Structure 1
C-alpha cells in the first residue's frame, strides 16, 4: 500500500514537471516565433496587429469547435449580458491592447530587452490597484516597487541600443496587461465568477478580435494592400496560431495541477531563460553586465512582490474558509452564499454543508 502511494506521488510529480516544462517551452517558443515572423528576412511580415488578430480569430473558432461542436470541454455558465458588457469586453479590449503593443515592440527592440521591461509589470498592477481600491499602500510595498523600478532603470541604462519607440510600445503593453489583471480581479472578487482558462478564451477571444479589427482596418490594411515584399506561407501562419492556442492550454494545465506559487516561480524562470536564449538566437540581443545586474535586481523585487501577494491570498482564503465553515455549521445556506464567493469554490461549500 505504501509503495503504491509512493509510486502514485512520484508519477504525479513527474506529470507536474512535464506540464511545467511544456509551459516554459511553449511560452518561450511563442515569443521567439512571433519575433521571427515579425522581423525576420525570411518572412518579413511587419504587421503585429494583423498577426494578433489572426491569433484571436483562430482561438475563437477553435474554442467554439471544441466546446460546442465536439463538446469536449464544458463552458461555465453565468455570463449575463450585463457581465459581458461590463467585464468581459473590457478584459478582451485590454488583452488585445497587450498583445498588439507587445508584438509591435519586437519590431524595434530585442526580445531580451522586452522581457526586462516586462519586469515593471507588478509596479503598474500595484499602482492601478491602489487607484481603484484593490491594493493598500504600505512602506513594504513602496520599497518593493522602488526595487523593481530601480532594477528596470538600471537594465535600461545598460542597453546597448535603445529604441524609444519600442520602449513606448512595450510600456503600453505593460499598462494594458496591468489593466487586464485589474479587470480580472474585479470580475472575480465583485462578480463572484471563476472561469477556467478555456472558458476565458471562449468568451474573451471574440472580443479581442473585434477590438483589433478596427485598428487593423485603419493602420495596417492599407499597408498590407500595397506591400509586396512579405511572404507568409499558410503552414507557418497555421503553426503560429496553433502554438498560441497551445500556450493558453498549457497555462490551463499548469494552473490545474499546481499552485499559484508554482506558476509564478515558473514565470520568473521562463523570463530568465528567454533573456539568455535570445542573446544566443538574435543578433540584436546584446547583453551587458549592467543589463543583467539591473534585471537581477528587478527580478528580486518581483519575487518579493509575488511572495507578498501569495501570503495575502492565503490569509484571505483562510478567512473565507472559516466564514464558510461557520455558516455551514449553522446550516445557514443564505449566509453561505454571501461569504467566500471570490476564492472558495462552490464544491467546497457543498462539502461543508454535507458535513
Structure 2
C-alpha cells in the first residue's frame, strides 16, 4: 500500500509540474510573439528581449539567494562552474536568442510544428553523449518524425527559410542543453533547485548575449530611439519568463527531459489551435497532415521510452527480490550450520 501511495503521489506531482510548465510556456510564447511581431507590438529586438528576461531572472534569483536567503547557494568550485554551468548558460542563451528571433519570421503554429523535431535532436545528442543507446528501430522512428515535419514545412503558407533555420538552430541548442542539464543534475552529483539554477545560469546567459547585442541591436536601438521601456509590458513579460525558467528546471529536475517532450506535444497542439483560431494564422491541410505524422512518431517514441522504463524498473525489482532471497538462504544455511556445530559439541 505504501508503494502504491508513493506511485500515486509521484504521478500527481508529475502532472502538476507538467500543467504548470504548459501554462507558463504557452503564455510566454504568445507574449513574446506579441512583442516581437512587426504587426503587433512591433519591437523586433529578440536579443534585447532575452537580455531583459535574463537580467530580471538574475536580479530576482540574487535577491532570493543572497539577500532574503530563501535558499542556500551551492558549494561549487571554479573548475566545476566553468565546465558545467557555463556551457549550459551558453547553450541556453543561444536557444533563447534564436527561438525568439524565429517569431519575427514565422507563425506560432508553424514554429510549434518545427519543434516536433525536439525528440529527434534529444535522442541524437543523447546517443552522442552516451546517455542513450543507438537502436535502428528508434532511428527509423526519428526519420518518420522528420518526414512529417518536412511535409508540414512543404505545406506552410508563409514559409521563410531564414526563420526555419533560426528555429532549427534553437531546437539543436535546446536539445543539447536538456541533455547537459541531466548530466549536471545527476551524473556530477550536484543538486540545484530552480532558484539556484537561475542564480548560476542566468548571469551566464546575460554575459554571452552582451556581445551580439552590442554588435547587432544596440546601434539600431540607439539610432532609432526604439528602446521605450514599457514597464507594464516588459515587466509582466519578464515575470512570466522567470516563472517559466523555474518551471523548466523543476520539470526536468523532478521528472526528465522525456516528460518535458511528452508535455511539449500537448502544448504544441494547444498553440496550433490558438494560433489558428485567435491569431488567425494560416494552417493548411498539408500542415496538419505532416504534423499529424510527426505527432504519431513522437507518440510512439514516448511510448517506447515509457515501456523501456517500466521494463528496467521490473528488472530492478526482480533483482532486489533475488538478492533478498539469496540473503535469507544464506542466513538459514548459517543457522543450520550453527545448530549442527552445537550438536557435534
* Greater gyration radius: 2
Question: What is the DSSP-based 3-state SS (H/G/I as helix, E as strand, rest coil) of the residue aligned with 1:72?
Answer: coil
Per the alignment, residue 298 of structure 1 pairs with 294
Q: CA deviation at 1:109?
A: 0.6
Per the alignment, residue 158 of structure 2 pairs with 161
Per the alignment, residue 334 of structure 1 pairs with none
Q: CA deviation at 1:167?
A: 0.4
Q: CA deviation at 1:147?
A: 1.3
CA distance in 2, matches of 1:10, 1:142: 33
Determine which of 55, 58, 61 is the counterpart of 1:60: 58
Q: CA deviation at 1:140?
A: 1.6
CA distance in 2, matches of 1:32, 1:129: 30
Question: What is the DSSP-based 3-state SS (H/G/I as helix, E as strand, rest coil) of the residue aligned with 1:280?
Answer: helix
Does structure 1 conserve the Cα–Cα contact (< 8 Å) formed by 2:179 and 2:257? Answer: no
The alignment yields a C-alpha RMSD, in angstroms, of 3.4
Higher deviation after alignment, 218-227 or 194-203 = 194-203
Does structure 2 conserve the Cα–Cα contact (< 8 Å) formed by 1:44 and 1:230? Answer: no
Higher deviation after alignment, 91-100 or 126-135 = 126-135
Question: What is the DSSP-based 3-state SS (H/G/I as helix, E as strand, rest coil) of the residue aligned with 1:301?
Answer: helix
Per the alignment, residue 39 of structure 1 pairs with 37
Per the alignment, residue 141 of structure 2 pairs with 144
> Structure 1: any 5+ residue segments left out of the alignment?
1-8, 329-355
Q: CA deviation at 1:135?
A: 2.7
Per the alignment, residue 338 of structure 1 pairs with none
- Residue-pair matches, total: 320
1:75-105, CA deviations, whole angstroms, 9 ceiling, x for partnerless residues? 4x24221111111100000000000000000
After TM superposition, list the pairs within 5 Å mapping 1:205-244 onto structure 2: 205-228=202-225, 231-244=228-241
CA distance in 1, matches of 2:26, 2:105: 19
Determine which of 103, 106, 109 is the counterpart of 1:106: 103
1:192-251, CA deviations, whole angstroms, 9 ceiling, x for partnerless residues? 324222222121111111111111111111111112456541221111111101122344
Does structure 2 conserve the Cα–Cα contact (< 8 Å) formed by 1:43 and 1:231? Answer: no
Question: What is the DSSP-based 3-state SS (H/G/I as helix, E as strand, rest coil) of the residue aligned with 1:46?
Answer: coil
Determine which of 201, 206, 213 is the counterpart of 1:204: 201
Does structure 2 conserve the Cα–Cα contact (< 8 Å) formed by 1:44 and 1:231? Answer: no
1:242-277, CA deviations, whole angstroms, 9 ceiling, x for partnerless residues? 110112234456568878776543322111101110
Where has structure 1 moved over 6 Å in runs of 4 or more? 9-18, 255-261, 317-328
Per the alignment, residue 3 of structure 2 pairs with none
Per the alignment, residue 83 of structure 1 pairs with 80
1:298-328, CA deviations, whole angstroms, 9 ceiling, x for partnerless residues? 1222222223334445566777899999999
Question: What is the DSSP-based 3-state SS (H/G/I as helix, E as strand, rest coil) of the residue aligned with 1:193?
Answer: coil
Q: CA deviation at 1:59?
A: 0.5
Question: What is the DSSP-based 3-state SS (H/G/I as helix, E as strand, rest coil) of the residue aligned with 1:134?
Answer: coil
Give TM-score scaled by structure 2 length. 0.81
Does structure 2 conserve the Cα–Cα contact (< 8 Å) formed by 1:196 and 1:252? Answer: yes
CA distance in 2, matches of 1:147, 1:158: 17
Give TM-score scaled by structure 1 length. 0.79
> Structure 2: any 5+ residue segments left out of the alignment?
1-6, 325-345
Higher deviation after alignment, 92-101 or 23-32 = 23-32
